[in-house]
């Protein structure tokens, strides 16, 4: 009887904010990955284009969406700690895919993200997205892979993606990039997010990066 009372007392004294296993995994993953996610601001002729980027190499190489950069020359990268750096375009690829590489100074202890394998993804698996929607830096959202378009090479997800999220990572449960967030289905001109977002499969990105279709600047 005493043992039962002790167990009941212990359970009552446990904090109500204790995470379950899945929550703990997501919290830990975000803490690990977010320092490698940056915001990207490109000064274009009619204003500022805002997006997200992923640090993929400790030398300061950042992967992002080409449409975020546009024709901008003055590109500012903001780290998760708020530190700003001038970035230059490191590699532009041909117009078939919406990707570009940027370069910032190789500062100490740069965190990086790892590539996954988008050939192994399945409809229904859980995914995470980190980005800067509407300037809210370091925003984490969760969803599933809703559809895979093998013809257009696009991953469809219901994880919330909004303006400013372009160039950010779509991650699997291991924190590996399986796609680069690119666009949303937008029938009402950004009035609402209806849960249909698209990402470029990371294997497509890897093929372009390893191929000879790029121009180094």
Burial of 133 from C-beta contacts in 10 A (0-12 / 13-18 / 19+):
buried
d(CA 164, CA 180): 13
What mean pLDDT do residues 18-41 have? 93
Residue with tokens 């950042």: 62
Residue 71: band (very low, low, confident or very high) from pLDDT cuts 50, 70, 90:
confident
| Per-residue pLDDT band at 213 (split at 50, 70, 90) | very low
Instruction: Tell me what percent of the residues of the chain surpass a pLDDT of 70.
Output: 84
Query: Per-residue pLDDT averaged across 40-47, rounded?
Result: 87
Q: Give the model's pLDDT for residue 89.
A: 94
Give the pLDDT confidence score for residue 208 in this predicted structure: 87
Residues tagged active-site: 67, 98, 166
Average pLDDT over residues 33-57: 92
Question: Around Cβ 107, how many Cβ atoms within 10 Å?
Answer: 11
Cβ proximity of 173 and 198 under 8 Å: no
pTM of the model: 0.84
Region 69-76 average pLDDT:
87
User: Tell me: the pLDDT tens digits for 157-182?
Assistant: 999 998 899 999 999 999 999 999 99
Tokens of 46: 């009619």
Write the pLDDT tens digit of every residue in 105-136: 988 889 999 999 999 999 999 999 999 999 89
């Amino acid at each position: 009887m005493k043992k039962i009372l002790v167990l009941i007392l212990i359970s009552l004294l446990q904090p109500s904010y204790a995470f379950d296993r899945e929550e703990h995994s997501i919290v830990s993953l975000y803490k690990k990955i977010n320092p490698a996610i940056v915001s990207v601001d490109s000064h274009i002729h009619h204003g500022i284009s805002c997006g997200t980027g992923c640090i993929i190499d400790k030398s300061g190489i950042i992967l992002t969406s080409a449409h975020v950069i546009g024709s901008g020359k003055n590109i500012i990268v903001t780290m998760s700690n708020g530190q700003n750096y001038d970035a230059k375009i490191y590699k532009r690829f041909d117009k078939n895919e919406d990707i570009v590489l940027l370069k910032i100074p190789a500062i100490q202890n740069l965190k990086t993200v790892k590539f996954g394998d988008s050939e192994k993804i399945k409809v229904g698996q859980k995914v995470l997205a980190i980005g800067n929607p509407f300037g809210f830096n370091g925003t984490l959202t969760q969803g599933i892979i809703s559809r895979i378009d093998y013809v257009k090479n696009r991953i469809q997800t219901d994880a919330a993606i909004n303006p400013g999220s372009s160039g950010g990572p779509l991650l699997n449960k291991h924190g590996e990039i399986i796609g680069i967030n690119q666009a949303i289905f937008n029938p009402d001109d950004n009035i609402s997010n209806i849960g249909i977002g698209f990402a470029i499969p990371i294997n497509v990105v890897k093929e372009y990066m390893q191929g000879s279709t790029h121009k180094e600047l």
